[in-house]
Amino acid sequence: MRCEVLFFLISFFLISFLFSYLILPKIITIIQEASFLRLNYKNELIPVGVGIVFFLTTLLVITVFLPFLPERASIKADAFLLAFAIFTCLGLVDDVWGSKVTSGLKGHLFASFKKGQLTTGAIKATFGLVGAALLTVNTGSWLWVLVNILMVVLTVNTINLLDLRPGRAGKGFLFLTVIFFILGWGEEEIIFLAAVSGSLLAYLGFDLKAKTMMGDTGANALGAALGVVAVWVLAAPVKIIYLVCLIIFHIVTEKYSFTQIIAQNRFLNFLDLLGRK
């Protein structure tokens, strides 16, 4: 890896962490004063949508460093921020107006096409597909464009599916980030994940203690960051393997409770409870 890319990796991470650490208390206070609260799995009312900090921080860090970024990262910074903004906004729509009566990708699609009910989940899925198509339209043949669209959309939904217990979505993001760092080592685009990771780690303590929820606002943002960077840094064979894993994960979670699967596996349960109080 070039020293230049390593410099931006470290700088993005540290500055993002520090900025998020400083503004998080203010953001939480604003959300509390607006009474934007939701019952968590313990039936406690806590602030929701705090994951907006990921977008605010990443936007600031990338914008400040934009004139100095390596050439390829500089070209793709706008596309990354666009993806981040689109999916953050779609998540915020779901947090503000979404109903918890209908859940899951299958449930939202069923409600929309069978019952004629337009849900925020269906809106999110539809415009998520449009956004993913817009961002990947020039990434190869129509077949690879389809693969890349599915990678982005299913990665976003995967992080959403993980966000059912404190810290789970954040841990999932960090796990995939490490994988992408290893597989995409040397690629300039991975610096964007460093910015998001710094912000996430500053926030994660609040989530693990069940004091706040990142909401779909945050989960969508994390998933979009992973999905878009995966499109850019993963080799073609790895993309296929990754997409197959995403599809299998979605099939399993539509049929079985992922929380129960974790609870029945000693290692997964240990990771799930790690850091939680």
Q: Give the pLDDT score at 115.
A: 55
Q: Give the pLDDT score at 5.
A: 85
What is d(CA 204, CA 153) in angstroms, rounded to the nearest whole number? 24
- Residues linked to residue 46 through DSSP beta bridges, in sequence order: 38
Q: Give the pLDDT score at 101.
A: 55
Residue 174's CB: how many other CB atoms inside 10 A? 18
Q: Which two tokens stand for residue 80?
A: 């990354």
Question: Is residue 220 within 8 Å of residue 90, measured between CB atoms?
Answer: yes
Q: Which segments in the chain show pLDDT lower than 70? A: 1, 99-120, 137, 139, 277
Q: What b/e string do you get for 72-84 counting C-beta neighbours within 10 Å, with b at 16 or more? A: ebeebbebbbebb
Number of domains within the chain: 1
Residue 74 is part of which domain span? 3-273
Q: Give the pLDDT score at 71.
A: 86
Q: Give the pLDDT score at 232.
A: 94
What is d(CA 203, CA 199) in angstroms, rounded to the nearest whole number? 6
Q: Return the ∠ at Cα 214 (arms to 213 and 215), rounded to 5°.
A: 85
Q: Give the pLDDT score at 129.
A: 75
3-state secondary structure of 184: coil
Q: Which two tokens stand for residue 179?
A: 């994988």
Q: Give the pLDDT score at 4.
A: 83
What is d(CA 206, CA 77) in angstroms, rounded to the nearest whole number? 29
pLDDT digits (tens, 9 = 90+) for 47-73: 999 999 999 999 999 999 999 998 888
Give residues with Cβ within 8 angstroms of 255, minimum separation 6: none
